[in-house]
Amino acid sequence: MTLDVQFKLKSNPLYIKYLHENSYWYKYLNRNPKIFDEFINEVKSSYKLRTTDKINKALSTFEMISNIMSSLK
C-alpha cells in the first residue's frame, strides 16, 4: 500500500473502522491505490454519510416532530 493511501486511511477513524469490518479492501487498496475514491464512496454509503442520507434523516426528523406536535393539539 502506498504511503499516500496509508496517510489518508489514518487521517479518518471511520476508514480504519470500515477496513477492520471489511478486510478485503486491504487487498484491493494494496493492488490498486487508484480505487481509493471507490473505497470512500463505499464507506459513505455504508455509514450513511452522503448528502442525500443526511437530507433524508433531517426530513424524517422533521416529519416525526410535526407528527408529535399534531398529536399534542
Domain regions of the chain by residue span:
3-72
Q: What is the percentage of the chain residues whose pLDDT exceeds 90?
A: 82
| DSSP for residue 48 | T
Residues with Cβ within 8 Å of 48's Cβ and at least 6 positions away in sequence, in order, are: 54, 57
Pairwise CA distance, residues 59 & 53, whole Å: 10
CB 5 within 8 A of CB 29: yes
- pLDDT at residue 1 tops 90: no
- pLDDT at residue 53 tops 90: no
- pLDDT at residue 46 tops 90: yes
CB 32 within 8 A of CB 2: no
pLDDT at 25 (0 to 100): 95
Extract the C-alpha cell encoding 48.
Answer: 450513511
